[in-house]
Structure 1
Amino acid sequence: MVRKRYSDEDALKILREIDVHLHDGLDVVSACRKAGISDKTYYYWRKKFGGLGRRQLSEMKALKKENERLKKIVA
């Protein structure tokens, strides 16, 4: 099986798409198949991103980048 990397923004889009499928009455496995990801990936992304929107995601990325920069300065 070929592994595909998704950007965080793509992952959020897919999570929203799956939410729509779930509200339409599909189970998680079927919704994930329709979106082209595994249910394991879905649960991982849901745990990682929780209720984040685009703005919160960009803030989180900026904070991580800042932390890395500060760690390099301190080290």
Structure 2
Amino acid sequence: MLRTRHQPKEISATLRQVDALTSHGQSVADAIRAVGVPEVTYYRWRREFDGLQSDQVKRPGQLQAENARLRRIVSDLKLDKLILAEVAQGIY
């Protein structure tokens, strides 16, 4: 089964569209079906992106990338520190 990645703008537009349909009296389940997104996906998106504008939706992905980069830096620095401590003790 082909998996498609939805862009942040598409996600926020879909959430707004479901909100608009529910405000016109349609049930949430019917609105989700009308948009064409699985219910599980809708609720996951709602949990992660609800209330965010389309430019803010990109932010969590950027934060995760920044977090990964900082973790690599910290692990490299810890390794350097351990090597220097061993050299200072005269082990090598």
**TM-score above 0.5, yes or no:** yes
In the alignment, is residue 68 of structure 1 matched against residue 68 of structure 2?
yes
CA RMSD of aligned residues (A): 1.9
Identity over aligned residues, as a percent? Answer: 36
| C-alpha contact 2:8 2:54 (8 A) present in aligned 1 | no
CA–CA separation in structure 2 for the residues paired with 1:45 and 1:33: 15
Give the TM-score of the pair, scaled to structure 2: 0.68
**1:70, CA displacement in angstroms?**
0.7
Name 1:48's counterpart in structure 2. Answer: 48
Structure 1 residue ranges without an equivalent (≥5): none
Give the TM-score of the pair, scaled to structure 1: 0.80
Q: Which entry has the higher C-alpha Rg, 1 or 2?
A: 2
Count the aligned residue pairs: 75
Deviations, residues 32-52 of structure 1 (Å, cap 9, x unaligned): 111111222111111111211
Name 2:5's counterpart in structure 1. Answer: 5
| C-alpha contact 1:29 1:38 (8 A) present in aligned 2 | no
Name 1:57's counterpart in structure 2. Answer: 57
**1:3, CA displacement in angstroms?**
4.0
SS of equivalent residue, structure 2 residue 6? coil
Name 2:21's counterpart in structure 1. Answer: 21
| C-alpha contact 1:21 1:31 (8 A) present in aligned 2 | yes
Q: 1:2 to 1:65 in 2, by over 3 A?
A: closer
Shifted more, 58-67 versus 17-26: the winner is 58-67
Q: 1:59 to 1:5 in 2, by over 3 A?
A: closer
